[in-house]
Structure formats: structure tokens, C-alpha cells
Amino acid sequence: MRYMILIYADPANEPAWGTPAFDAWVAGYGSLNAKLAADGIPASGSGLQGVGTATSVRLRGGKVETMDGPFAETKEHLGGYYVIDVPDLDAALRYAALVPSAAFGTVEVRPVVENTVV
């Protein structure tokens, strides 16, 4: 079953770029990627650019509305994601616990709806 791992964090709590803590944080993602590959877990994902680059879209009364930034005003921002294919939720949670941002943010795990037509 496929699960999406959504990575949320307050950018103010992330390690500063160019510091040893930042390098360790990035290396943690490399370690997670290597573990997924070594365990034979099909995975895809990516980090996302900052919320300042986001555009939100809504349809209201038949009209398309766009606005700069994310829809929700929160301190934690969606910073990246993985989609993994594992046997069950317990396995997905084990991998989610390895996400380095879990140490200062929130990692959400959700099943992907299968067999949908887009």
C-alpha cells in the first residue's frame, strides 16, 4: 500500500544553512533515502520551495481565484514529502519516524487512495 509522508516544520526552527547542524540535517535525509533503497521500498518525493513561492487556487461561484502564498496561515509549512509503498501503516510509521524534520516539526502519514482515475 502506498502512503504519503508529509513533512511540516516551522522554518524558524530549521537548522541554519551552512552550519554543521544543517549539514547533519541534510545528511539525515540522505540516510533515510539510502535506507529506503536498501530495504527495497519503492519511494519518491522531494523537498518544496518556500511558501513565498506558493500560489493557492480556489473556485468560488464559478470563478477561479488565485492568491499568493499558502491557503492556511500556520507556523508549520509543508516542506516536502515522500510517497512510499510498504505493507501497512506500521511500516509507514517506522519510516516516517526517520524523517529528520520530525525532531522539530510534524510528519503526517496518510494512505494514498488507489485505483482512482484522474
DSSP string, 35-95: HHHHTT--EEEEE---GGG-EEEEEETTEEEEEES-SS--SSEEEEEEEEE-SSHHHHHHH
Domain that holds residue 11: 2-111
Inside any domain, residue 44: yes
Inside any domain, residue 117: no
Inside any domain, residue 62: yes
Inside any domain, residue 118: no
**For 10-48, what is each residue's pLDDT tens digit?**
989 999 999 999 999 999 999 999 999 999 999 999 999
Inside any domain, residue 116: no
Number of structural domains in the chain: 1
The whole-chain average pLDDT of the chain stands at: 91
Inside any domain, residue 48: yes
Inside any domain, residue 102: yes
* CATH code for the domain of 6: 3.30.70.1060
